[in-house]
Amino acid sequence: MAVVVGLLAVVAIIAFLAGDDEVGSPPSTAEAPTTTATTTSTIPLVGRPGAEGLGDPYFPSLGNGGYDVEHYELDLTWRADEGILDGVATVTAMATDDLSRFNLDLAGMDVRAVTVDGEAAGVRRTERELVVSPARPLPTGERFVAVVTYSGRPAPISDGIDLVDLGWRTDGREAFVVSEPSGASTFFPVNDHPTDKASYTFRITAPEDLTVATNGRLVSSDDVGHGTRSWTYDASEPMASYLVQVAIGDLELVEAGRVGDVVVRHALHRSVLEAATRTVAGTADMLRLLVDVFGPYPFDVYGILVVDEDLGFALETQTLSIIGSDVATEGRDADNVLVHELAHQWVGNAVSPATWRDIWLNEGFATYAEWLYLERSGGPSAGSQARRYNGVAVLDLPPGDPGREDLFAPSVYLRGGMTLQALRERIGDDSFFRLLRSWVDEHQGGTASTDDFVRLAEKVSGQSLDDLFDSWVYDPVSPRL
């Protein structure tokens, strides 16, 4: 995420609920004088409840234990004139424990029915949880399919993050999504933590005068009658739930060529179409530059979503970064924001934080990508840009543990970026840029922590770096370059 105003414009702890395992009767044995015959009775699987949260240090109730989601199929109908969303979410998952029940994160919305493997399941709701009890327990290693039918008026939530309310947002008949870190549950039932990534299929039905844009490739757009159109998109690469985007509005879908095998396409609001087209014109060149920094682009499409609202921030929703009309009308002044969000496709999206305490691995890296962009475009060096922030008091907050309320604090961005400059100066350019590529190569499609990065940096450089990371990432007082 890039903040436009003022600044920039586990491995989570798995905590299962302890349930008493019920043990069936042991096999009965009958002996005869000359033979011993043993018969066994089938011991019914009892299982235990999956955890109601993954124990993230900042958001302990986010996510759920006992299963791993492989794929979400979201069939959504947006009744724009009423502000109502009807949904059928098909969740394909693998049990990682013997489950008597499991949870999905869901805020608001009325649940009409839930089935597991085609059989009606028991359902209980709490404020942010959907508790599902399948007709039979699910054994470890079994793939299962849960189908949740629901409806309601989705509304954003506040989760202690001052920057923005999170989740499904509407502007009249139009809608879009801003979910970092915990807003995905406002519009679909989900295991809402980066450690459980999945692929997605979107089928969105909306009024025919509105256009739908989501993550991934557009597969089809069909008139389905009654003044509506159905849009199908496929996002086949693993994606953290906070990166899901569903945008419905007066959008122009713009094809902007290719960079190698990567399709560049945008979804631009028609109210700012001319200015937005100019602003995003450099996307392909930015993509080529960052491929040189981080390695091959990790997905098959990329583009910018422009909405008709002054957001005051931007967000790197996977393959389709969202910006507001404020950034879209800034022209080349928006380049830093656009580079920032594009860099997140590698650092943040392909490699996501193991916990939300590790967010500097998203924002510090993307900030440093801005400095590299200027350096390689004939501007000031990354080192000189980083040194502008020496002694800035607001950076006296450790980016490696900023606290939940300061998840998007300036230190996470700027001191995070300065950490990388300090590392570059310590280990040299060859090792540093090899490290950036190795970071993506080794963790692509998954999550990683600060400790993982320190270990890899020491492996690549052959140096002990604890002192550097202790002072730059964890010391309350910011060092100076």
pLDDT in tens, 71-92: 999 999 999 999 999 999 999 9
User: Which are the contacts of 451, defined by CB distance < 8 A and separation ≥ 6?
Assistant: none
CA–CA dist 113, 137 (Å, integer): 19
Could you read off the pLDDT of 158-188 as tens digits, one per residue? 876 756 789 999 989 999 999 999 999 999 9
Q: Which of 363, 416, 369, 407 is nearest to 389 (CA)?
A: 416
pLDDT category at 367 given cuts 50, 70, 90 is very high
**pLDDT > 80? residue 156:** yes
Contacts by 255-261 with C-beta closer than 8 Å and gap 24+? 256/280, 256/283, 256/284, 256/303, 257/284, 259/284, 259/287, 259/288, 259/291, 259/297, 260/291, 260/297, 261/300
The per-type count for the chain, helices as H runs and strands as E runs, is 10, 26
Other beta carbons less than 10 A from residue 456's beta carbon: 16
N-term to C-term CA, the chain: 25
On average, the pLDDT of the chain sits at: 92
Q: For residue 314, is pLDDT > 90?
A: yes
Per-residue pLDDT at 33 exceeds 80: no
**What mean pLDDT comes out for the span 139-147?**
98
- Per-residue model confidence (pLDDT) at position 44: 75
pLDDT band at 24 (very low <50, low <70, confident <90, very high): very low
Is the pLDDT reported for residue 111 higher than 80? Answer: yes
What value, to the nearest 5°, has the Cα angle with vertex 398 and ends 392 and 400? Answer: 135
Averaged pLDDT, 134-153: 98
pLDDT at 43: 67
Which domains does the chain possess?
Answer: 62-248 (2.60.40.1730), 250-345 (3.30.2010.30), 351-474 (1.10.390.10)
Max Cα distance, the chain (Å):
94
Q: Which tokens hold the place of 73?
A: 């199929």
Res 151 pLDDT > 60: yes
pTM above 0.75, yes or no: yes
How far is residue 73 from each of residues 52, 204, 214, 265, measured CA to CA in Å?
22, 11, 13, 23
If you average pLDDT over residues 230-237, what whole number do you get? 98
- Lowest-pLDDT choice from 16-20, 195-199, 404-408: 16-20
Q: Which pLDDT band, with edges at 50, 70 and 90, does 2 fall under? A: confident
Taking only Cα atoms into account, the Rg of the chain, rounded to an integer number of angstroms, comes to 24
DSSP state of 27: P
For residue 4, name the pLDDT band (cuts at 50, 70, 90).
Answer: low
The whole-number pLDDT of residue 383 equals: 98
Tell me the average pLDDT across 16-25: 32
Q: In Å, how far are 33, 41, 43 from 38, measured between CA atoms?
A: 14, 10, 15
Residue 38 has pLDDT above 90, yes or no: no
Mean pLDDT, residues 271-288: 97
252 compared with 5, residue with greater pLDDT:
252
Query: From CA 102, how far away is CA 95, in angstroms rounded?
Result: 10
Instruction: Tell me what the mean pLDDT of segment 398-418 comes to.
Output: 97
Mean pLDDT of 97-114: 97
